[in-house]
A and B are shown apart, each in its own frame.
Chain A
Amino acid sequence: MPETITMEVWRYRPEHESEPTWDAYDVPLRKEWAVLDGLNHIKDQLDGTLSYRWSCRMGICGSCGMTVNGEPKLSCSTFLTDYAPGPVRVEPMRNFPVIRDLVVEMGDFMAKLPAVKPWLVSDDEPDEDTEYLQTPVEMDDYKRYSMCINCMLCYSACPVYALDPDFIGPAAIALAQRYNLDSRDAGAEDRRDVLASAEGVWACTFVGECSVVCPKDVDPAGAIQRYKLTAASKAVKDLLLPRGAR
């Protein structure tokens, strides 16, 4: 195994340049080093001006999403040795405006998230001592969708989001389904206006890449397809049944 690997890092420093550039750094190639460790080595030893986000280093916080050799990845869970002999190209996540270097602006997602009410909605004020019991089977319905860490890799993989930034997007719809499919929730009708809109599930053409890149196996593409079926059968019922019978 060679001793080092070259990392080509995408740089954008708005006070210096209006167009992005590339900087190359040689970093030690160690078996246990992830791309994020390489970046930390650069920042500590070679070039303190490099900016990027990270926190947990164990695939839980969702803050270290980047584009590694063209693919959306969590940089803390992507190992340098998998790219030997290199070079490894590190770019910011695609489909987001870039603030600096590898740091992207996620305000768009933050603004969309509350629109799908990602919390348990209940019809009546729950009694303080009530426990909401749920069977394992009921929990299975939504558990997968609850694993999302908001890393945004699915948005950076989605060509529909790239072309139509109004699209609510994979993670937000998967989160809405996480609550829609929860036996304790009564908010499905509230979420429907947003989910069943042209910017909601109907914008999705089932490219499927969101589910491929998701590090938590959330399967947002499946969540969207399932909701299309739900929304379509609701629409047919609305059309056929008188109001009272729905």
Chain B
Amino acid sequence: MTTKRSPEPFVWLLFSSGGMVTALLVPVLLFLFGVAFPLGLLPAPDHAYLASVVSHPITLLVLFGLCVLALFHWAHRFRYTLYDGLQLKKYSVPITIFCYGGAVVGSIIAAIVLLRAL
């Protein structure tokens, strides 16, 4: 059993940092943009202001980090959910490709969308 070169620790580190970053940032963002503004609990920011916030390099950097880590967090957890919850471990190769591959593709899309906002 030579497992020291297994990629598992690295995907776990991505999963963990993603778990921490999403726990800190996603609830407030989703509450504001998904619930509070649409339901009129709070007034939505006007376009000019939001555009200035979104085009700021620091915002873009934070959002890029958030997207990448959140996607790898999803990939890792979803992979194990399919293994355990649905007992699909026998299909681990396609599941692994789908999950981490999806995270890579999603990160590229995120980079394109965010760069466009610069």
CB distance from A226 to the nearest CB of B (A): 13
Q: Which of B1, B16, B84 contacts A197 (CB 8 A)?
A: B1
Q: Is A216 engaged at the interface, CB distance under 8 Å to the other chain?
A: no
Q: Which of B1, B6, B10, B87 contacts A194 (CB 8 A)?
A: B1
Chain B hits for A236, CB < 8 A: 9-10, 13
CB distance from A162 to the nearest CB of B (A): 9
B6 with A160: CB separation less than 8 A = no
Q: Is the interface of B mostly helix, strand, loop or mixed?
A: helix
Instruction: Determine which residue in B1, B10, B83 has the highest number of CB atoms from chain A within 10 A of its CB, and name it.
Output: B1
CB distance from B13 to the nearest CB of A (A): 5
A232 with B4: CB separation less than 8 A = no
Chain A hits for B6, CB < 8 A: 196-198, 202
Complexed CA–CA distance, A242 and B13 (Å): 21
Q: Is B80 engaged at the interface, CB distance under 8 Å to the other chain?
A: yes
Q: Would you list 16 pairs from A and B whose C-beta atoms are within 8 A, ordered by A residue?
A: A159-B84, A160-B84, A163-B83, A163-B87, A163-B89, A164-B89, A193-B1, A193-B2, A196-B3, A196-B6, A196-B9, A202-B9, A205-B84, A232-B9, A234-B9, A235-B9
The 4 closest A-B pairs by CB, nearest first: A235-B9, A197-B3, A232-B9, A202-B8
Additional pairs, 12, CB under 8 Å, beyond known A160-B84, A163-B89:
A164-B89, A196-B8, A196-B9, A198-B6, A200-B3, A202-B9, A202-B12, A232-B10, A232-B12, A235-B4, A236-B10, A236-B13
